[in-house]
Amino acid sequence: MADQQDPVFQIQRVYLKEASLEQPNSPAILVEQETPAVDIQLGVEGTPVADGIFEVVVTATVHTKIKDKTVFLVEVRQGGIFEIRNIPQDQMGPIMGIACPQIVYPYLRANVADLVQRGGFPPVHLSEINFQAMYEQQQADAAAQQVQ
């Protein structure tokens, strides 16, 4: 039998929390020959759900434009529910900001590619993300703001 103080880290569920695709200038924009500019924004948020249960959501927003007109705008929020217990408090930030998003992100990538393709466009394949570097940058930015 496991000791009550053993660390626990388990995936409870990975799910698509929200997905949207907008094509406000279709069909006219679809006949444009110009290559669109692509802007991709990513975000990670983690929140407690219950005692020892946490939700981590990774968000991707993909906005493509030709000149000042939107070709398409996709937003996908991929969630994961994790059981995390008996972990030292100083390790919770890296777990929520690195380990959990690394598990959720492949599902997000697949859903973005699928949604864009179902909208009639070539799929957008999001790059691999180094969540450790992203987390460390966020920590450095937060520390710099506290100094100011």
pLDDT at 2 over 60: no
pLDDT tens-place string over residues 45-78: 999 999 999 999 999 999 999 999 999 999 999 9
- The structure tokens 């290559």 sit at 35
Which of 10, 38, 18 has its CA nearest to residue 103? 10
Q: What is the pLDDT of residues 86-133, one digit of tens each?
A: 999 999 999 999 999 999 999 999 999 999 999 988 888 999 999 999
CATH of 8-135, one of 3.90.1010.10, 3.40.50.300, 3.10.420.10, 2.60.40.1230: 3.10.420.10
73: helix, strand or coil: strand
Amino acid 65: pLDDT: 94
Number of H helices, E strands in the chain: 3, 4
Q: Which residue in 77, 58, 73 sits closest to 16, CA to CA?
A: 77
- Residue 117 sits at φ, ψ, to 5 deg, of -65, -40
Per DSSP, what are the bridge partners of residue 145? none
Whether the link from the prior residue into 123 is cis, omega within 30° of 0, is: no
Greater confidence (123 vs 42) lies with 42
